[in-house]
Structure 1
Amino acid sequence: MSETQSREGRPSPEADDRGSPAPITLMLSSRLMVLANLLKRGAILRYKRLAGLSSVEFGLVASLGRRPPMSVARLAEAVGQDKGQISRALAGLVSRKLIAKSENPRDCREVLVSLTQAGLAAHDAIVEGAQQRNRLLLEQLSDDELETLLAQIERLTATAEAMLEAEKAPR
């Protein structure tokens, strides 16, 4: 299969009428997004199989981890999602007895959430699955290659953060 053909042999959406890839698909950011999306889709399927969790649910379970209880607002901030979406997912996790809710003893208006024993087992399955996926992904790299890759990712991340801040600045 060529870079510009789909699995069915048809030109892929990123190819133009001549079969050439669209210039944007050759850019580093596009290639990284493709990689990230493939990894995310694989993770979603794995965690659904291992623990019966949706992508939002496994993000919540992973974020709660083995930490002390946290507020719904703090959890929403940690996963970078809307409190409403988080609340709906939490309701499902509570009904499946993976998460327990309690009142904050310091502020009775605030609800704290934490993993139950079943939630901790799901968390551990997620961590184990993530470690396996990480090993599979990186086993093709030597120690030197991995060190270089991680250093480059750090540099690119710092540059991307600066670019984001520049876009936020008033013009």
Structure 2
Amino acid sequence: MVTAVSTTEQDRARVVAAEVADPEMPMLTIADLGVLREVRVDHEGVVVVTITPTYSGCPAMATIRADIEYDLRAHGFTAVRVDTVLSPPWSSDWITPDGRRKLREHGYSPPGPAPTRTGGPIPLTLAAPPRDVRCPHCRSATTELVSPFSATACKALYRCRDCLEPFDHVKEI
């Protein structure tokens, strides 16, 4: 049976999916992060949500998928499918201005511009790329890398040399 797709239902589904929180940084939604790529209702009435992980091996993706399905079903959508796409790969440039503001407000240093790639192989570097990292607490630029990895692979641990507070920096990807 083929049903007409209601723009209103598609818009409503997008609002619900866009509000799903990131399980690792719950102050952000998947829309804030740019992980949510598309929400549509297909010709059979199935809500199809397309997401792109921040990393291809991101452990939060299973939870995000389950949360999308749960929230949509809780709002009356009975047929839901979540698709994952890896191309183009997620970029930290996809984090919205509101998402960057939320990161700062919650003690995270948001990423700077993502590195530009011109094609070809990605060069192997053994040192962390230089970053202009400001302390989210006092806004000082006098910060130091403590560890290239924090609680998750998408963050690095820094410390401010002025206020001495540690903080996570969301990496540029």
TM-score under structure 1 length normalisation: 0.27
More helix by share: 1
Point out which structure has higher relative CO (alpha carbons under 8 A, 6+ apart).
2
**Who wins on radius of gyration, i.e. which is larger?**
1
TM-score under structure 2 length normalisation: 0.27
